[in-house]
A and B are shown apart, each in its own frame.
Chain A
Amino acid sequence: GAGVSQSPSNKVTEKGKDVELRCDPISGHTALYWYRQSLGQGLEFLIYFQGNSAPDKSGLPSDRFSAERTGGSVSTLTIQRTQQEDSAVYLCASRAGQNTEAFFGQGTRLTVV
Chain B
Amino acid sequence: GDSVTQMEGPVTLSEEAFLTINCTYTATGYPSLFWYVQYPGEGLQLLLKATKADDKGSNKGFEATYRKETTSFHLEKGSVQVSDSAVYFCALRPYGGSQGNLIFGKGTKLSVKP
Report the minimal beta-carbon distance from B96 to chain A, rounded to whole angstroms: 9
Specify which chain A residues have a CB less than 8 angstroms from the CB of B32 in the assembled complex.
99
> Given the interface contacts A41-B106, A42-B106, A42-B107, does A98 sit within 8 Å of B100 by beta carbon?
yes
Contact check, B49 vs A33: say whether CB atoms are below 8 A apart: no
Say yes or no: is A91 at the interface (Cβ < 8 Å to chain B): yes
Say yes or no: is B89 at the interface (Cβ < 8 Å to chain A): yes
Say yes or no: is A105 at the interface (Cβ < 8 Å to chain B): yes
Say yes or no: is B29 at the interface (Cβ < 8 Å to chain A): no
- Residues facing A in B63-114 (CB within 8 A) are 89, 98-107
Contact check, B43 vs A91: say whether CB atoms are below 8 A apart: yes
Contact check, B103 vs A45: say whether CB atoms are below 8 A apart: yes
Contact check, B101 vs A45: say whether CB atoms are below 8 A apart: yes
Contact check, B45 vs A104: say whether CB atoms are below 8 A apart: yes
Considering only CB atoms and an 8 Å cut-off, how many residues of chain A contact the other chain?
25
Interface size class of B (residues with CB under 8 A): 20 to 34
Report the minimal beta-carbon distance from B23 to chain A, rounded to whole angstroms: 12
Contact check, A102 vs B46: say whether CB atoms are below 8 A apart: yes
Contact check, B100 vs A40: say whether CB atoms are below 8 A apart: no
Report the minimal beta-carbon distance from A90 to chain B, rounded to whole angstroms: 12
Residue of A nearest to B36 (CB): A104
Contact check, A99 vs B51: say whether CB atoms are below 8 A apart: yes
- In whole angstroms, how far apart are the Cα atoms of A105 and B42 in the complex? 9
* Interface set of A (CB-CB < 8 Å, partner B): 4, 31, 33, 35, 40-43, 45, 48, 50, 53, 56, 59, 91, 93, 98-99, 101-107
14 contacts between A and B (CB under 8 A): A41-B106, A42-B104, A42-B106, A43-B102, A45-B101, A50-B98, A53-B98, A93-B44, A101-B49, A102-B102, A104-B36, A104-B45, A105-B43, A106-B42
